[in-house]
Structure formats: structure tokens, C-alpha cells
Amino acid sequence: MSAPAIAGYTYGTDAVPRSPVTLEEFELLKKSVLFTDEDARYLRLSRDVLADQVEQVLDVWYGFVGSNEHLLHYFRRTSDNQPDEHYLAAVRKRFGQWILDTAAANYDQKWLDYQYEIGLRHHRTKKNRTDGVQTPEHIPFRYVAALLYPITATLKPFLAKKGHDAETVDKMHQAWVKSVLLQVILWSYPYVKEGDF
């Protein structure tokens, strides 16, 4: 997978640390959320459905974050409490690529490593470093986990826009719910006390 030219997007590069979660452990997580090969197929189908709708999806998601001050807070400069537009734009580009990466359902070591990196970038360990910004240094895990619902619930109408039958749309959506849950679990690693993950 060749990395697109997106600032701070380091998927598959040496800049990404190795995940402390092994592929074998990840397989057990997949079993725990009932993620199957069929889910992977429906995720891949969703990539074609979503590829030309990424900006519209991001408009919905950014609208949600922007309309909730407690979420927008983590994008505000500490110097003047104004939203950092550069930061919002940089994160948006990576978020769009995340949609495509999620839908690719390529669960190899590089993907697993990048999930760890994403978790670190929300945690005080690496928050702000990628973009060199001065915003709140840590996103509490409660908000990382809470966004699972609005992200997956608002995605379903986009999955239905290409003429697939209701059953296919539902299977794509369920695959997304499971995949995002798996990712949120992986992103939690930096937040969990050593030995408790």
C-alpha cells in the first residue's frame, strides 16, 4: 500500500512504533466482537461506496464535533482559545484517509501498528506532536470511546446511496460498527494501566 501525500500520515513507515498488541491477540479481539471474513468483504465493498463521499461524511462528522464545545475544545489553541484551523484541516485529511483505510479491511502488522499510533496521538504521549500545535495535550478516553456511536450511526445513510439493497447496506454498516469498535479498543492501549489491557 503506497502512502498518499498527507501531512502526518505515516501508515506503513518506520516512523510508526510496533504495536504492543500482537496479531494473534488481535485475532482473538476479532472473535470477541464477532468480526468475520464476511465482515471484511462488506467493509471492502463499502470502500467503493464511500470513496467519492469522503468529504460529505467528514462534513457531517466535523459538524458534530464543531457543534459540541466539549469536543471542539481539543482543537482550540491554548494561547487564545480559538479553534486551530490548520490543525482541524490537517486532522481532517488524515480522517478522510482513515475512512478509506478502515474500509480496506487490511488487518496486517502495518495496520495494527498504525492503530497504536492513532491511540498515542489522542493520548498525552503524542497529542499535538504530529502537527506541531499548542492545543490541549490530552483527549480523555471517554470521548474517544463515545464517538464510536455518532461516527457509525451517521455513516449508514452514506452506505445506502449507491443503490444496494437494505440487507447489503445493513451488512456494510454492521461491519463498520465492528471495525470501529475494534479500533477504539486498540486506541485505548496508551490509556490503560500497564498490564491491564
Average pLDDT over residues 50-56: 98
- Per-residue pLDDT, 4: 73
Note whether residue 101 is domain-resident.
yes
Average pLDDT over residues 178-188: 98
pLDDT digits (tens, 9 = 90+) for 18-37: 999 999 999 999 999 999 99
Residue type, 105: A
Note whether residue 70 is domain-resident.
yes
Query: Cα(102)–Cα(42) distance, rounded to whole angstroms?
Result: 11
What is the count of structural domains for the chain?
1
- Per-residue pLDDT, 139: 98
Note whether residue 168 is domain-resident.
yes
Note whether residue 63 is domain-resident.
yes
Q: Which three cell numbers stand for residue 116?
A: 497504536
> Is pLDDT at 3 greater than 90 in this prediction?
no
H or E element in which residue 18 lies: none
Note whether residue 12 is domain-resident.
no
What is the reported pTM? 0.95
Query: Cα(71)–Cα(76) distance, rounded to whole angstroms?
Result: 10
What domain range includes position 134? 41-191
Note whether residue 4 is domain-resident.
no
Note whether residue 65 is domain-resident.
yes
Note whether residue 15 is domain-resident.
no
DSSP sequence for 172-196:
HHHHHHHHHHHHHHHHTGGGSPTT-
- What's 186's domain CATH number? 1.10.490.10
